[in-house]
Amino acid sequence: MTVSPSLHVLTSPVLFRAIRAFAPRTPWSFLAFEAAHRGKPHRTPRSLPELAIQFDDFPALREFYALWSNPDYRSWNKLSFNHTVLRAAQYKQPEMLRFLLERDLEDDEFSWIMARAIGYRCLEILQVLYEFHPQESQAYTGVIDYLVHTHELAVIQFLVERGIGRWTSVAFDGTFLRGDVDIVRLLLKHRVAEPSIEAIDRAAYRGDIEMIRLLHSHNAPCSTNATDYAARRGHLEVVRFLHEHRSEGCTYRAIVGAAENGHLEIVRFLVEMRHEASTAQALYHAVEKDHDTVVRYLIENTMAGRLSEAKSRAILFNHESIASMIEKMIANGIKRVDVAQQGREEDLAGKERASKRSRRR
């Protein structure tokens, strides 16, 4: 059988070796890496350097870089180093990230990489990025707003101390209102945040005395809601602190809320120490909620509310023990005393005595 010239050319070992001499060969390590990771979950398409980062294979990354540095392999898509800096940040590989940055391999906008890295919340990654590009290390506002919800103090401290990112009212309010004391202390120290009027109010609602002390030491504002909230929620220490250190005061809602929820010590404190008028509503709410000790205290120590009305409400809400207690008080002709009024009179008398002593001098 005669072999055609074309078939002879195509099957010639000599010619095949000559052609292969001018074409880059596929390295064994290249094939071995693909085989080792075939079937593992990853997003496609991904280059081999990206997969080496994902699978924490630093030796493979170095070898792929050596191949990619060869002009014969530079055009291979599977050896592309595009987005490898971002992948090193994403998979929290600081040593690989340093390796890539030392070779100027970033191809994405650096501020975007930094913003993504902040979202990944890895301090080591941020430190490496900042080391190589301190002037370009900025972050989008939304990333900072997100970060304060993660409680990552070390990351937030790193950014604040270097002036990275812009802190908005969303970030401030979220931090202050949630009660992250360490983060709030950091923001106040570096003067990158000013608490809103709700900061102390919400801290009082939670009973967070440490946060209240911190905010008060930085002259944070608040409103009458602070004491109103604390009284309703039963936070006596907070009520005391606000009474002693703040001038905003409270409203009738403080004693009504405390009475309604059965907080006797707070009711007692408000009656004896605050001179806002005790209201009939405090007595009536205590009756309706069946807080007998609060009812007894308010009847014996304030003039607010009519006993007949209190008794009627006790009967209406089926609180027989309170109705019976009030009936006995009425039958015994209880003499009610206004402790708050006595306190005001004593304060006035004390001021008059002090004034007389001053004039004598």
What are the pLDDT digits (tens) for 119-156? Answer: 888 999 999 999 998 877 766 566 666 777 777 889 88
In a domain, 220, yes or no: yes
Prediction pTM value: 0.73
Say if residue 361's pLDDT is above 70.
no
Q: What angle do CA 289, 295, 299 make, to 5 degrees?
A: 150
Say if residue 348's pLDDT is above 50.
no
Tell me how far apart the alpha carbons of residues 110 and 195 are, in angstroms, rounded to a whole number: 32
Q: How confident is the model at residue 206 (pLDDT cuts 50, 70, 90)?
A: very high
Any idea what the CATH number is for the domain that residue 333 is in?
A: 1.25.40.20
Domain that holds residue 213: 195-250
Based on the fold, state whether residues 227 and 313 are members of the same structural domain: no
Q: Looking at residues 313-325, what average pLDDT do you find?
A: 95
Based on the fold, state whether residues 344 and 306 are members of the same structural domain: yes
Based on the fold, state whether residues 314 and 224 are members of the same structural domain: no
Where do runs of H (alpha helix) occur along 163-260? 169-178, 181-189, 198-206, 209-217, 225-233, 236-245, 252-260
In a domain, 287, yes or no: yes
Say if residue 268's pLDDT is above 80.
yes
In a domain, 64, yes or no: no
Based on the fold, state whether residues 260 and 236 are members of the same structural domain: no
Based on the fold, state whether residues 259 and 323 are members of the same structural domain: yes
In a domain, 11, yes or no: no
Query: Residue 234 class from Cβ within 10 Å (0-12 exposed, 13-18 middle, 19+ buried)?
Result: middle
Say if residue 297's pLDDT is above 90.
yes
Based on the fold, state whether residues 246 and 267 are members of the same structural domain: no
Q: How confident is the model at residue 63 (pLDDT cuts 50, 70, 90)?
A: very high
| 209-217 vs 181-189: helix crossing angle, rounded to 10 | 10
Based on the fold, state whether residues 244 and 291 are members of the same structural domain: no
Number of compact structural domains in the chain: 2
In a domain, 256, yes or no: yes
Based on the fold, state whether residues 335 and 268 are members of the same structural domain: yes
Based on the fold, state whether residues 344 and 296 are members of the same structural domain: yes
Based on the fold, state whether residues 235 and 297 are members of the same structural domain: no
Say if residue 351's pLDDT is above 80.
no
Based on the fold, state whether residues 202 and 275 are members of the same structural domain: no
What are the pLDDT digits (tens) for 150-194? Answer: 778 898 889 888 888 777 666 666 776 677 888 888 888 887 777
In a domain, 170, yes or no: no
In a domain, 211, yes or no: yes
Instruction: Report cis status (omega within 30 of 0) of the bond before 13.
Output: no
Based on the fold, state whether residues 225 and 283 are members of the same structural domain: no
In a domain, 264, yes or no: yes
Q: How confident is the model at residue 263 (pLDDT cuts 50, 70, 90)?
A: very high
